[in-house]
Structure 1
Amino acid sequence: MPNLKQTPPNEMRIDKWLWAARFFKTRSLAAAAIKGGKVRVNGDRAKPSRLVKILDQLYIKRGDFSFDISIIAIAEKRVSARQAKLLYTETDKSIRQREKLTETIRIERKAAAQYGGRPDKQGRRNLMKLQGKV
């Protein structure tokens, strides 16, 4: 009978953990982010096969948002969003930065919606008058 090495339940591949904790929709997206340097484990770049354990510190960059978290539990399977939040704790600084960025994006979208796109002929003439080009 072959000797199969099984990882203990307190360790898991980082790509699988990120998928189970719902940071990425698929394991391949998680692996691509790890290979691209968007995920750091205890301050170091990692490979998708790296084993993470409880109390490891992760830095995850996803789009404009970044997460600075500490692993507090390992899930064998993908869990619901509510349970996924119980797998890690996020630093207060990370939460504040993300909330500030969310607020900034919300304000920018609201301002862009009020602008309404390109000016029409009358609006363009008014802009030219204001700029002193007429």
Structure 2
Amino acid sequence: MRIDKYLWCTRYFKTRNQASIACKKGAVRINDATVKPSREVYPGDEIKVRKNQINYSLEVIDIPPSRVGAKLVGLYRTDTTPKEAFENTELLKFAKDYYRKKGTGRPTKKDRRDLEDFTEDTQE
């Protein structure tokens, strides 16, 4: 089975087109080698997928006949993604909130002046 079809069947991507685009961009690796969307997948292969700033790693157990339900995905792959990969996404959320809260709009003149005053003090 093709890698793009396998990733779609095991629900890593919502559409097969998204899976093939990820392969073309180099976000999918099989046994530490970047692959094209047409690369065949066999049981025992180690697949690494970078999606949403998380490096997923999985091992192919079997090839599904077609797209499977979420409950049956475990029959066809083993997820070996370390927990640290998911913890890093939580840290990224905090880092984004540090600068400006979402929905507060553009910085005002007062914000700009405060920033200029702050940067002038640090340069001296």
TM range (shorter): 0.7 to 0.9
Q: Deviations over 1:48-107 (max 9, x none)?
A: 22221111000111231211111123211112223224432222xx33232122211232
Q: TM-score, normalised by structure 2?
A: 0.74
Identity of aligned residues (%): 34
Unmatched 5+ stretches in structure 1:
1-11
What code does the residue aligned with 2:7 have? Answer: L
Unmatched 5+ stretches in structure 2:
none
**Separation in 2 of the partners of 1:130 and 1:60?**
41
Aligned residues: 118
**Separation in 2 of the partners of 1:15 and 1:129?**
51
**Separation in 2 of the partners of 1:55 and 1:86?**
13
**Separation in 2 of the partners of 1:22 and 1:108?**
29
Q: TM-score, normalised by structure 1?
A: 0.70
Residues 125/34 of structure 1: CA separation in 2 closer, same or farther (3 Å cut)? closer
Match of 1:69 among 43, 48, 58: 58
**Aligned-pair Cα RMSD in Å:** 2.7
